[in-house]
Amino acid sequence: MIKAKGYAAATPTTNLAPWKFERRDIETLDVQFDILYCGVCHSDLHQIRNEWFPGIFPMVPGHEIVGRVVKVGKAVTKFKVGDLAAVGCLVDSCRTCDNCKVGLEQYCTNGSVGTYNSRSKDGTPTYGGYSNTIVVHQDFVLSISEKLSLPAVAPLLCAGITTYSPLRYWKVGKGHKLAVLGLGGLGHMAVKFGVAFGAEVTVLSTSPSKEVDAKKLGAHKFVLTSDPKQIKNAKGTFDFILDTVSAPHELKPYLSLLKTNGTLIMVGIPPEPSQVPAFSLMDGRKSLAASGIGGLPETQEMLDYCAEHNIVSDIEMIDIKDIHNAYDRMVKGDVRYRFVIDMATL
Ligand SMILES: [Zn+2]
Ligand SMILES: [Zn+2]
């Protein structure tokens, strides 16, 4: 076994603290890389607090992982020692179901294996990126360009692909009016991709202070959702709304901002179910949809697209000891726009 260290939550009510554990020895097709940076995702907090489902403890969170390869299995062809490597939300899947066969491993019918708070096929728990090293099958390791700033690439592995995938699936681009609800980790990436794909992008936010940033990120318009006049003017104007908010919120007011045949796509995961009056969908034949991360081929496509178009996340780097302060600020929406842990501070 490989000795590893990280930060773990021992129970859903205890703070993260240093913890020593073991990773499996590398097998024929495994890649081991030392973790240099790991992004901080809202779902890390949801999971260590058991807000979605009962978790597996101790839990080492983190699924926006980048680093450098230190060892490869005998039959590994995709990577060599010294290469940059990345892992997102998945480390395995059944590989044989209809979804896996077409690269939609995130929707694996038999249950994909999450990077943390999940179980490998042999039943052992998986541990995430708030740690010094990781061992993953090469099929679930992604390549990253040396061209981009490495810490700013980390959030692409979850926030990036979570917003890239639905925009690609619904073919959002030129001629479309796209609204991005919420300007946080996901929202700021949605703005960057929406603009890059040629859509007219409007940020919907409750916070007037986000207007300047929205424009800086490339958004064409801004609607302050706490201002009834601005909401009234925006009614029936969007082809798509990408809802990135993971705090509880009403959907009805936003559905009214869609054009006929418009689609609201949820990518944030509030802990409580949402209520949707049928009328707000019926009036204008609107669709309510959701999308979860992305499969491996599309995640690689997104990383390559970002390298080609020089797209990275806007980040604030933190020491791992400050993780709880970062969580507090993340919950308040006080981060521009993603915290990334410098793993050298572990
Ligand atoms: Zn995430
Ligand atoms: Zn599958």
Average model confidence (pLDDT) across the chain: 96
Q: Which ligand is nearest to the CA of 99?
A: 2
Q: For residue range 142-189, list pLDDT tens digits in order.
A: 999 999 999 999 999 999 999 999 999 999 999 999 999 999 999 999
pLDDT greater than 90 at residue 269: no
**CA torsion, ordered 191, 341, 10, 267, to nearest 10 deg:** 10
User: Residues with Cβ < 8 Å from 43, sequence gap 6 or more?
Assistant: 52, 63, 158, 246, 269
Q: Which ligand is nearest to the CA of 295?
A: 2
Q: For residue range 178-203, list pLDDT tens digits in order.
A: 999 999 999 999 999 999 999 999 99
Residue 138's CB is within 10 A of a number of other CB atoms, namely: 18
Q: What's the pTM?
A: 0.96
For strands 221-224 and 200-205, give the pairing.
parallel
Q: Which ligand is nearest to the CA of 105?
A: 2
Rounded to the nearest whole angstrom, what is the distance from the C-alpha of residue 43 to the centroid of ligand 1?
5
**Do residues 136 and 128 lie in contact, with contact meaning Cβ atoms separated by under 8 Å?**
no
State what percent of residues in the chain have pLDDT above 70.
Answer: 100
Beta strands of 214-311 (E only): which ranges? 221-224, 238-243, 258-266, 287-290
pLDDT at 295: 98
Residue 316's CB is within 10 A of a number of other CB atoms, namely: 15
Please name every residue paired with 2 in a beta bridge, in sequence order, or none if there are none.
Answer: 23
The enclosing H or E element of 205 equals strand 200-205
Rounded to the nearest whole angstrom, what is the distance from the C-alpha of residue 285 to the centroid of ligand 1?
31
Q: Which ligand is nearest to the CA of 186?
A: 1
